[in-house]
Amino acid sequence: MPKQVDHQERREVIARALWRVVEQRGVIHLTMREVAQEAGISLGQLQHYFASREAMLSFAMDFASEQTTLRVGRRVQELGDRPHPRDVFRVMLTEMLPLHPDARATSRMSAAYVLEALHDENIHARARGGMVQGRALVEQLVRQAITDGYIHPDRDPVTETNLLLALTGFATLIELDAIEPRDVLTAIDQYLDRLFAGGNRSA
């Protein structure tokens, strides 16, 4: 009997191949032909799963976001029951930075996606929607930490959310070797210490 093809698995193989093209050769080489070659399949096979470069790129970005969420979830579970929100924020921030191979691959994928979004209205709308949703989640966590007494009530949740997300901008500095990862972690820890200073609940 012919081997059954797991279509979702094949899409994920293609997505990871796209990541490797971006990571190793740059977004300029991000063509369907290059991705097919990297995935070890024909261009026709790739087009069976993705009718356009946009569709392929969007799936690869969705998959990257999913993998980041899974990594964050695993690390948060390792913190045990009812982890301190400071530790949760640290996990979220560090997994969005290129500090290890998996995170570097998804970080570069995200950077490539943003570049595409600047010149493609459909991708721009998808990328913006994802970022708005992600930002809302972070703000919700900040507000909950204030409500629970971990962060001083005088802190503005909107501003603190924006500052937390601004820390992900370290990705570019790390990629260009303009700053050492250990210095990034020091900056993150110092910011989180200040954010949670004044709360009436300790770690």
Strands (E), 32-93: none
**Residue 136: CATH number of its domain:** 1.10.357.10
Q: Is 200 exposed, middle or buried (0-12, 13-18, 19+ CB in 10 A)?
A: exposed
Residue 77 belongs to a domain: yes
Residue 7 belongs to a domain: no
- Is residue 5 predicted with pLDDT exceeding 60? no
Whether the CB-CB separation of 36 and 42 falls below 8 Å is answered with yes
- Is residue 27 predicted with pLDDT exceeding 80? no
Tell me what the mean pLDDT of segment 54-77 comes to: 90
Tell me what the mean pLDDT of segment 124-150 comes to: 95
Tell me what the mean pLDDT of segment 165-191 comes to: 96
**How many structural domains is the chain composed of?**
1
Residue 43 belongs to a domain: no
- Is residue 7 predicted with pLDDT exceeding 80? no
Residue 31 belongs to a domain: no
Residue 22 belongs to a domain: no
Residue 53 belongs to a domain: no
| pLDDT band at residue 92 under the 50/70/90 scheme | very high
Residue 48 belongs to a domain: no
| pLDDT band at residue 168 under the 50/70/90 scheme | very high
| pLDDT band at residue 152 under the 50/70/90 scheme | very high
Report the distance separating Cα 141 and Cα 144, nearest Å.
5
Give Cβ neighbours of residue 61 (< 8 Å, ≥ 6 apart).
109, 110, 113, 126, 127, 130
pLDDT at 171: 95
Task: Report the helix count and the strand count for the chain, using DSSP H and E.
Answer: 10, 0
Domain hosting 91: range is 58-196
pTM of structure: 0.85
Residue 162 belongs to a domain: yes
